[in-house]
A and B are shown apart, each in its own frame.
Chain A
């Protein structure tokens, strides 16, 4: 009995271990936060959730004392982690902590500099070399050049002047400047970002720095009139730094953090900083040049979510659920069998008495190319509905080419 019991225990332990591996928390991440001129109490928990969503990270938080506290007590053990996310813009760390951080990065540690983290530590030379460019805190020509894009060329501009500004908050277009980097590979070359502060006129050492994406800081919105760096990578020693200026946090994140473009580049940038590679797939809801794409609850839509919402389709409200279904079909169904798997999920929408006419029209149009004989009886039945006659004719003309 005892032996058997022991065996069960060992087995259970093995399963737990297996599950832990399957959970895939391959990397350990630390979010450094606690002081900021921004709402870190809103942003840091969101960043933690975003990292955890990838299934790649286990995440700890290092919360500093507040700006009246004793900074000597703030001694995160950086060396335990694969990536350190800086959501901090506050008092200087102790020399001991600074040194530990520099050693961590020099020895190959990953860093993500998020939004106002590049406002922090204007006096700390090594930190500024890690982030490449920074703003505010008295930064000016002594801290390094402005760096921006003019047409297709990177410009290094040593003109004297303040470092750091932004125009009024608005949606803006991000332009990818290097589509070959693991972080940006496969992303649309241009995409709309949810309303955010567009950092401009950043200055810094800009050594070993590559600009992955820029955005035009519009003069008429109080900006610089230049294509300003939005996403950057920097190498420091053996360490990799991903610098995103995006994501000005409101309560519950707001559109800048809910933007799928922010979310995905943050998640990919963190993986790259931790490992030098990116294994995450680009989600179907990634924005493009046409419009902003937000996840108000920070969750990615599933196929089930799309299918549940399509029957309520109303073009004046939202078209994205249907568009995402189309993307899934394109990417996941390459054979007649795989197409039929989707067809079987779409037919119930045609049969659903409560589904909108608009939703049925869309499904009929899509089935016209990817449907099979399975759809024909239900389409024929709908042909009796005058509101759907044109679309059923259309679908049948394609599905039964003899009619053509």
Chain B
């Protein structure tokens, strides 16, 4: 704990310095810093990317934009269309043809000598690949939600901590000004003592029925795409739409748990803990391949008596997305592009110097990762927090799957007195895949 608080202090101080530093490159001729304004290659962070579909490519391009700090060397994807496209983008930036491509992350990790990696994969792959990259001592920018199960999530946390690497979760809302402001207002009591929270997440959508079995396209390694998930024939559902199938994801709920539940728990000071009782109800598709809940609604009780309701926003009274904290003196709702309160004056409140301030990063979410890779400091969305945020979504999933009220011990991370529900903390992998023992 002492270590953490000193580091916080350090960050506060360095943030002020860094804000000043940002202005410098605009005044000093960029050539003074090296060729074309870049740091000498040896000082740049050498990165690779695993999973370069839409999200992974987006992350990679953001990092490519940090050309002064980052040098991309290699990309890896089970779809050669993805890896070819990513290589093209890297080569365009590097003005050469040197970016190496891989189809198997094991070979990628074995051969490449990298400092850091950005990873964006279907959730069912997170456990294996995050731990493997951590065990290679690579710093990781990893997409949320952290894991498909709480068991996998804890394994990833342990691997990151054990290897002492820098981890940033793709929960970028933590770097968003309106989210930080909302959290500071709530934590500093501007709506009084918080009584309950509502978290509104997107509704589920139409199914696709069961598309026919089709030939796997030559560019896709289907067996490797499935990895530890059950073996099923290819029906044209892989990239992007994996999110609607329980073998790979928990649907909108687990996708968005890493955003709005993350923010809600931040405002409750529960980012590194969790609820003690969870119960709820889901509505599931009755036909076809997609089987994640299209509606979900569960309630979490925290040990301090605060309750958090998580639901697809259509079920909430105002049908609002985002996090809404209700306190004794008012409420605050924050969502992307929105910050509103029961009384607009609440939003004008100034947070005093000695009050709680959220982690302030002088750069954006991706830049914060790069800063921390250099400074070795903790990022704005660290691993333990990522795990605790998705854990709430996964506990909600367990409560809905069983139809039972789940008692949870957030310290031990155990379901209390319910061995049946406990089994759902874990999804066995298809052989030969095994998560390294923790």
Contact = CB atoms under 8 A, between A and B. Distances in A.
Interface of A: 152, 175, 179, 188-190, 192, 285, 287-291, 293, 315-316, 318-320, 323-324, 326-327, 329-331, 333-334, 336, 339, 361, 368-370, 390-391, 393-394, 397-399, 401, 404
B204 interface: yes
Contact of B206 (A291, A368, A391, A394): A291
Given A289-B295, A333-B403, A369-B423, A390 B431 contact: yes
B55 interface: no
Given A316-B212, A319-B291, 12 more contacts: A188-B295, A290-B204, A290-B207, A291-B287, A318-B287, A330-B403, A336-B420, A368-B423, A369-B420, A390-B231, A393-B428, A394-B428
A339 B295 contact: no
B315 interface: yes
B283 A398 contact: no
A168 B35 CA distance: 65
B13 interface: no
B213 to A, nearest CB: 9
23 contacts: A189-B312, A190-B294, A288-B283, A289-B204, A289-B205, A290-B205, A290-B284, A290-B294, A291-B285, A315-B210, A319-B291, A320-B287, A323-B284, A324-B286, A327-B284, A330-B403, A368-B428, A369-B401, A370-B402, A390-B231, A390-B431, A393-B428, A394-B428
A256 to B, nearest CB: 18
A394 B286 contact: no
A315 B294 contact: no
B25 interface: no
Interface size class of B (residues with CB under 8 A): 35 or more
A401 B276 CA distance: 23
B426 A404 contact: yes
The interface centre, meaning the residue of B287, B290, B430 with most chain A CB atoms within 10 A of its CB, is: B287
A37 to B, nearest CB: 33
Given A334-B403, A336-B420, A289 B294 contact: yes
Contacts of A291: 206-207, 209, 285-288
Contacts of B206: 192, 289-291
A324 B285 CA distance: 10
Nearest to B318: A152
Contacts of B41: none
Contact of B283 (A188, A192, A324): A188
Contacts of B424: 369
A390 B230 contact: yes
B203 interface: yes
B94 interface: no
Contacts of B423: 368-369, 398-399, 401
A130 B212 CA distance: 50
A320 B285 CA distance: 8
A326 B284 contact: yes
A189 B205 contact: no
A320 B294 contact: no
B426 A398 contact: yes
B365 to A, nearest CB: 31
A290 B230 contact: no
Contacts of B294: 188, 190, 288-290
Interface string B328-350: 00000000000000000000000
The interface centre, meaning the residue of A293, A361, A390 with most chain B CB atoms within 10 A of its CB, is: A390
B404 interface: yes
Nearest to B435: A404
Contacts of A290: 204-207, 284-288, 290, 294
B210 A330 contact: no
A170 B30 CA distance: 62
A248 to B, nearest CB: 22
Nearest to B405: A334
7 nearest A-B residue pairs (beta carbon): A290-B285, A330-B403, A397-B428, A189-B314, A290-B207, A320-B286, A398-B423
A202 to B, nearest CB: 24
A323 B428 contact: no
A190 B212 contact: no
Interface in B391-438: 400-404, 420-421, 423-424, 426, 428, 430-431
Nearest to A316: B210
B319 interface: yes
B283 to A, nearest CB: 5
B255 to A, nearest CB: 16
B18 interface: no
The interface centre, meaning the residue of A152, A189, A323, A391 with most chain B CB atoms within 10 A of its CB, is: A189
B195 interface: no
Contacts of A331: 403
A152 B319 contact: yes
B287 A404 contact: no
Contacts of B212: 316
A370 B295 contact: no
